[in-house]
Amino acid sequence: MKTDKETDQWRENWQANRGDSLDIDALVEQVRRRNAREKIIAFFEVASSTVPIGLCLFAITMPSSTAYESGFFLLLAAFVGAFVFWAVRQRRRIWLKPQKTPSELIAWERQRLEAKMRYWRVSFWCVFGIWLLLLLIAAASLMSNSELNRGWPTSAIANLGVLLATGAWLQVVKHRARRQLDALEALDMNAG
Amino acid sequence: MTEIDSKLKRVLEDYGPMLFRLATSYEWDPALRDDLLQDIAFSIWKALPTFKNEASLKTFIARVAHNRAVDHVIKRQRIADRQGSVENAAALTSKNNRHPHDRIDLLKAIRRLSLPNRQCVELMLEGFTHSEIGESLALEENTVAQRLSRGRRQLRAILNPGEPE
């Protein structure tokens, strides 16, 4: 019965650590604060999508907007709505993960990292699409030489900055995610 | 304080030491250990409304806590005691502990087990039966027995390096 005695001794040693420094009231308070913080973040996420959609719809209703402009803003509003819906859905999928074994959790983390890279890749190409559209409208407005359409070239230039920043960030995310994926390989071997 | 906050408080009063030991076994650094403990408490808070009394509360809490702890290991890509230090481990000793060095050795040894074996061994040390471990980790009892046997063997080899198995 050597094993039982040994196990009992291990159990006694293990349970001797009663977590004296554990402050339950402080922990409950931290959880409450964290919940409040997450609600605020969720609110800002919804607000950040509602504002641009609202501005797009406002631009469409303006009497001075042309058919081209109305079409562009309608497309932009639909795109922002679809993109936010997709992003929120991705996040919920991550939060609502069911019970998993270590290997499954590692596979899940791998999926999460791949989804993150996909998210930024999609973002980059969407920003590129918007910039291209702005460029085409700017070129068309310059050719028509209309006074009203002078804002388009400025928007195209400003969006070039957004495009370059998104491209640079995509490279950072890809580099980090690949390093993490390599580390997960090692962890997966340990999980067995 | 809402009803769910009160429930969480009761859970932490009953299972706090178990959760503390679990967090300590996954994270040496006291600051990061406290973060992990907070993550676990938050996960339990979110999961509590889904508890349906089909399983015991103890296994339910253990399941949520282990999932969160494994998630933490994955996020940090830490394996066993790669980042652990003896100085941080020394901070784990407390006044009422009769064998502080034994406990640190045991803790260090547990951290060197593979994740699946470690989970089973930890729950065994918490006093869980094979069927409770199986319920907590969604494993067959046979698998639990195999992992415990392997885990015990590994643990013995780490704690008593010179002794034959």
Tell me: the pLDDT tens digits for B78-102?
A: 444 444 443 344 444 344 444 555 6
Closest CA in chain B for residue A4: B152
| Res. B41 pLDDT band, cuts 50 70 90 | very high
Alpha-carbon distance B17 to nearest alpha carbon in chain A (angstroms): 5
Average pLDDT over chain B, rounded to an integer: 79
Which member of A16, A105, A184 has the closest CB to residue B77? A184
Query: In the prediction, which pLDDT does A100 show?
Result: 61
- Helix pair angle (B115-125, A102-144), 10° resolution: 130
Contact flag A3-B97 (C-beta cutoff 8 Å)? no
Query: In the prediction, which pLDDT does A76 show?
Result: 87
Any residues with CB less than 8 A from the CB of B132 and at least 6 apart, and which?
B56, B58, B59, B62, B123
Q: Is the pLDDT of residue B122 over 50?
A: yes
pLDDT per residue over B104-120, tens digit each? 688 888 888 888 888 89
Looking at CATH, the fold of the domain delimited by B3-159 is given as Butyryl-CoA Dehydrogenase, subunit A; domain 3 (1.20.140)
Q: Is the pLDDT of residue B15 over 70?
A: yes
- Given CB atoms, is A111 within the 8 Å cutoff of chain B? no
Query: In the prediction, which pLDDT does B95 show?
Result: 42
Average pLDDT over residues B138-142: 88
Q: Is the pLDDT of residue B55 over 50?
A: yes
Residues of A in contact with B146 (CB under 8 A): none
Q: Are the C-beta atoms of residues A176 and A151 closer than 8 Å to each other?
A: no
Which member of A22, A35, A190 has the closest CB to residue B16? A22
Parts of chain A with a pLDDT under 50: 1-2, 192
CA–CA distance, A20 with A130 (Å, rounded to integer): 57
Closest-CA residue to A184 (of A117, A111, A98): A111
Closest-CA residue to B141 (of B131, B132, B153): B131
Q: Are the C-beta atoms of residues A132 and A75 closer than 8 Å to each other?
A: no
Alpha-carbon distance A16 to nearest alpha carbon in chain B (angstroms): 6
pTM: 0.66
* Rounded alpha-carbon distances, angstroms, from residue B78 to A5, A149, A183, A186: 32, 56, 9, 10
Continuous H helices in B27-125: 30-47, 57-76, 86-90, 100-111, 115-125
Q: Could you tell me the residue ranges of all domains in chain B?
A: 3-159
DSSP codes, A4-58 = HHHHHHHHHHHHT---TT--HHHHHHHHHHHHHHHHHHHHHHHHHHHHHHHHHHH
